[in-house]
Structure 1
Amino acid sequence: MELGSLDRSDDRPPYRQIADQLRAAIDRGDLAAGDKLPSEAVLMGHYEVARMTARQAIQELRSEGRVVAEQGRGVFVRLPAPVRRLASDRFARRHRDAGHGAFLADAEKAGVTPTVDEIEVSRKPAPDAIRERLKVDATDEVVVRSRRYLAEGVPVEMAVSYIPADLAEGTRIVEADSGPGGIYARLEEAGHLLDRFTEEITARMPTADERRRLRLGPGTPVLTVLRTAYDTDGRAVEVCDTVKAALAYVLEYDVPAR
């Protein structure tokens, strides 16, 4: 990208002018997702400013969540286009039949490449809030599946699913790779036809661990979605606790007026 110049007659401080020019380059697409920002040294030399000024300009973009710093590599543009999450469509059975989980369906609709990492599977008693939704006893173990989702290599979401152990045993739910269509496809194969989902959505600031794993800049909020899946017998078969990078998502709902 071509860097602009500072307007010394402008009331805005130099770091704000530099940040505005970098932001405009991102908005125009001159700097795309995954592109590296000009370094502090490059900004210092081009604009003839002190290191602190260059650093403040980059920090301005980090605080907005537009860029993320990677240790030893530099500062990179975050995913600029949101992952549109259409709640009324993402759990449709046709996606599972095609071997796609909900996140894969979201990513394909948004035109981004999805990946999953940090997959962990364990068995332990559920936290109280989860136990109440699953209607299991305090001493009952559940299968816990934790993972992180990325779009174009950028972390956008972390999710932890809790499944009653009697439903997960003997299925690929207890394996790291749950297979085509994910957890819900395996539950339906085991005879638990899904009927409905409930979701509770809140917004908050992330914990230190969430900031690190989602590579969030200072001041960047997260969305939390607590979802319960029910089968046709009315049994809660899974609770999923999700933390989403707020700037990466648009939550879209199509609600019938009847």
Structure 2
Amino acid sequence: MTSALDPLPIAITALTFLLAGFVKGVIGLGLPTVAMGLLSLVMAPAQAAALLIVPSFVTNVWQLAAGPRFGTLAHRLWPMMVGVVVGTLAGAGFLQGSHAGQAAIALGLALMAYAVLGLTAVRFALPPEAQGGWMGPLIGALTGLVTAATGVFVIPAVPYLGALGLAKDELIQALGLSFTVSTLALAAVLAGSGVFEPGTAGASAFALGPALVGMAMGGWVRGRVSEPVFRRCFFLGLLALGTHLASRALL
């Protein structure tokens, strides 16, 4: 990774996490998606994922702790969380080395899929009998594989959790739980491969400041700007970014 003393990577990292935090402050999610998408334009996906660890962990624990029913949700979703860990560990190495080009393509495609789901406002609903058994671990494992390959942990976890019929506060807390487990699993994979080392951890901790400032700004804007308009612009931007990443890696 470029030296932490170089001003250009410092500026890029700060601005990226300021914007990513702003998006999360407005709509409640999107920090890893925005951060990975933008940072992958200027560095390898594995390096971008390593910078994501501290801001993602802190903001998601904050989101998790703010909810009212952690024990109930943890009991209900633990099979999915086990699947997330297993899938992420099974996909170790996807972001690095000879897989870097494929990781960039996968990240672009994941961003595009996420954007299309957001723009079409597709909503899934699972009947109670389909919410147990094998479904949770399978969704968790697939989310883990996508996390290992792209550094983004929203697909298919977010659509699945949205289909469980949770109340608004429960859904936000469930997302916080899923994102926290994904972040820890990704950190373990990157640490095991030597990508997330003390120097990178320090740079990631530096990124926490801009992310928190961005979240505060986003929270202030949330009550003053139409959320549907902002979401539409956000997902259109992600679609363009994902298309650029995938096409650049293919050329």
TM-based fold match above 0.5: no
Larger strand proportion of the pair: 1
Q: Highest relative contact order (Cα 8 Å, sep 6+), 1 or 2? A: 2
| TM-score normalised by length of structure 2 | 0.32
| TM-score normalised by length of structure 1 | 0.31
Larger radius of gyration: 1
